[in-house]
Structure 1
Amino acid sequence: MGDAVHNGNDDHWRRRSHARSMDATGVTRIVGGNIAVLQHRGVLERGEVHARKQSPHGRSRSSASMIFFSRLTHPARIESAELATPDQIDAFIDSRALAYPTQIEDDFVQRALGLGVGTGMILDVGTRVGLILLKMLWQNENFYAIGMDTSSSLIERARETAQAWGLGERAFFQVGDARKMRLKTAYFDLVISDSSLHVFDDPLSVLREINRVLKPTGALLIRELQRPTRFQMQRKIDECSELYGARMRSHMETALRAAFTRPELDALVRASGLERVRISEQDEHHFYIERPGDSDPNSWIKVREQYM
C-alpha cells in the first residue's frame, strides 16, 4: 500500500500542546467485571507499558514549507473534550439514527471488514457506545473484540447494547487510557478507531500504542476529522450541525477545531512507527489511515480457547 506518508512530509512535526491532561478518574481507572476476565485470559499486559523512542531525523525543506503553509491557512488546534454528560451522550446516540452518521458508520464497518482479516481479535480505540464494533461482530461471528474508551458512562452504554444484541460473550468493553494501554504487545488482528484521535492531548502516544498492540500482519483502520481552514470553519460547523443534528452542534464545533490537517496527520503517522499504511481522504470531512492485513490461521483457535 506504500509508505506511511506520500508527500515527503516531516516525521518530526511538533506542535506545542495547549491541552490539559484527560480526566484522571476517567482515563486511568478500569471499571467493571471485564478487567478481571481479561487479566485471567492473558489479554492484559502486566507491568510497565513498553516505551518507544523516536530516532532523530532531519526536517526536509519541502515538508517544513507545507507545515508552515498549513499553520497559516488553518486555525491552531484546540483541546477537545469527549462526550461527558448524559445529555451529550443521548444526543450522540440520537444522531446515529440520522442518515449521514448511519451511512458513514456503515461505510466504516464495510471498509474495516474488507481489509483482509476475517478472524481473531479486534481492538476499538475510542469506542464510545460501541456501535461500530458491535456491527462488525454481528456481521462476522469469527471475531472477538475489546472496546476501549475514557468515559465510564459510554462504556456502560456499550455493555448494555452488547447484551441487548446478544453479543456480550464476544464483546468486552473497558475504561482505559489509549496512551498507555494495559494490553499485550502484538495481540490484535485488527485495530480500528473512528474520529477519536483528536480527543487526546498526546495523539502520537496513542498511535505508538496502537502500533505496539497490533500484530505485524494485522490490519488497521482509523478515521479522523479534517480541520477546516480559517475561511471554511464556520461553514463546516453549520454543515455538521445539519448532518449530525442541532444538539451535536457544540460538540462538532469543538471536534472540528481539534481535528488535524493533512501535514499534521502525515507527520504523526510517520513518527509513530506504523508501517505499510496509507493516508487518504474519505470525503471533505474525513481522513482515513489504513493498512490491509492477513488472517492469522491460529487466531481463531487461540481466541476460542481464551473466550469460549
Structure 2
Amino acid sequence: MTKPRVPETDSGIQGVDIVAMYDQMQRTLRDKGWMETGDLLKSGITGGHALEIGYGPGYLGLEWLSRCPQGHLTGLDISPDMQALAGRNALEYGCLDRADYRLGRGDKLPFADGSFDAVFTNGSLHEWTHPVETFNEIWRVLKPGGRYFISDLRRDINFLIYAFLWLGTQPAAIRPGLKTSVGAAYTAVELRDMIKNSCLVGGWIKANPFGLSISGVK
C-alpha cells in the first residue's frame, strides 16, 4: 500500500554546504549518464528558447544546451545559492552566453504570455505548493505549438528500485533528502487528477520504474 503523501519544503535547497552536496550528487548522475536529457530530447524539445523551472545546479539544462547548439535557456529557481552555482557551472560548460538564471516561483512566472518555445523541469514537481497553478503558468508562457516536459520521482516506487537509488545517492549525507523527496512525490493517479483541472489536461503521462513524466504540445 502506498503511503500518504508528506509535502516537502517549498523554499528550495538553501545553504552553501547543502548546495555543494547536491551539486556533487547531480554531477555524479551526469557523469553516469543518468540525467533525463535523452527523455527531454525525445519529447521534441530540441531547440529554440526554453524555460527550465527549478534548475538547481543547472546540469539538465546545460546538457540540453550542449546537444542543441542553437538553443537558449532561461532558468527559474527560488534558491539564490543555486542561482550562483548554476552560473558557475554554465561558465564551466562554456554556455554562459546562452543561459540566463533568474529567481522566481513557478506558480507566478515573471514572463509574458507566449514567451517560450519550450518549458521543462525535472525533480521539482514534488516541491511545488501550487502545482495546478504552475501547470497553468507553463501553458500561459508557451508559444502556440510549444512543448513541455515535466518529470519527477514517484511515491509508489518499487522497494528494490528505491534501494538502488538510495545506495547510488552520493554523498551519503544527502540520502535523507531522497527519502523526503520520494515521500512528497505523486503517483500517476494523483498526477492525472491534477492535470484534469489544469490547462495541461491533454498531456501524456508516462511512468517508468523510477518516476513519472508528463509531456505535450500547446
TM-score, normalised on structure 1? 0.64
Deviation at 1:292, TM superposition (A): 5.3
Closer, same or farther in 2 for the Cα pair 1:118/1:228, shift >3 Å?
closer
Q: C-alpha separation between the residues in 1 aligned to 2:18 and 2:7?
A: 17
Whether 2:170 is the aligned partner of 1:240: answer: no
Q: C-alpha separation between the residues in 2 aligned to 1:190 and 1:174?
A: 17
Aligned to 2:198: 272
Partner of residue 182 from structure 2, selected from 253, 256, 263 = 256
1:155-170 map, 5 Å: 155-170=83-98
1:36-185 map, 5 Å: 73-81=1-9, 82-98=12-28, 102-105=32-35, 108-185=36-113
Q: Judge conservation of contact 1:198–1:259 (CA < 8 Å) in 2.
A: yes
Deviation at 1:101, TM superposition (A): 7.8
Q: Judge conservation of contact 1:241–1:248 (CA < 8 Å) in 2.
A: no
Q: C-alpha separation between the residues in 2 aligned to 1:244 and 1:289?
A: 25
Q: C-alpha separation between the residues in 1 aligned to 2:7 and 2:131?
A: 12
Paired amino acid for 1:241: W
Closer, same or farther in 2 for the Cα pair 1:110/1:186, shift >3 Å?
same
Helix, strand or coil: the match of 2:148?
strand
Larger strand proportion of the pair: 2
Closer, same or farther in 2 for the Cα pair 1:243/1:190, shift >3 Å?
same
Q: C-alpha separation between the residues in 2 aligned to 1:130 and 1:211?
A: 22
TM-score, normalised on structure 2? 0.89
Larger radius of gyration: 1
Closer, same or farther in 2 for the Cα pair 1:211/1:99, shift >3 Å?
closer
1:268-308 Cα deviation digits (max 9, x unpaired): 122111154210113x2201111258xxxxxxxxxxxxxxx
Deviation at 1:98, TM superposition (A): 3.3
Q: C-alpha separation between the residues in 1 aligned to 2:199 and 2:29?
A: 36
Paired amino acid for 1:144: H
How many residues are aligned here? 215
Q: C-alpha separation between the residues in 1 aligned to 2:32 and 2:135?
A: 26
1:115-159 Cα deviation digits (max 9, x unpaired): 335432100011111111111111212111101111010011001
Q: C-alpha separation between the residues in 1 aligned to 2:78 and 2:198?
A: 21
Closer, same or farther in 2 for the Cα pair 1:291/1:97, shift >3 Å?
same
Give 5+ residue unaligned stretches, structure 2: none
Deviation at 1:239, TM superposition (A): 3.4
RMSD: 2.1
Whether 2:154 is the aligned partner of 1:226: answer: yes
Q: C-alpha separation between the residues in 1 aligned to 2:14 and 2:92?
A: 23
Aligned to 1:285: 210
Q: Judge conservation of contact 1:195–1:225 (CA < 8 Å) in 2.
A: yes
Greater relative contact order: 1 or 2 (C-alpha under 8 angstroms, separation 6 or more)? 1
**Range moving further from structure 2, 180-189 or 113-122:** 113-122
Q: C-alpha separation between the residues in 1 aligned to 2:153 and 2:44?
A: 25
Closer, same or farther in 2 for the Cα pair 1:92/1:224, shift >3 Å?
same
**Range moving further from structure 2, 263-272 or 148-157:** 263-272
Paired amino acid for 1:204: V
Deviation at 1:238, TM superposition (A): 3.9
Q: C-alpha separation between the residues in 1 aligned to 2:57 and 2:164?
A: 24
% identical aligned pairs = 23
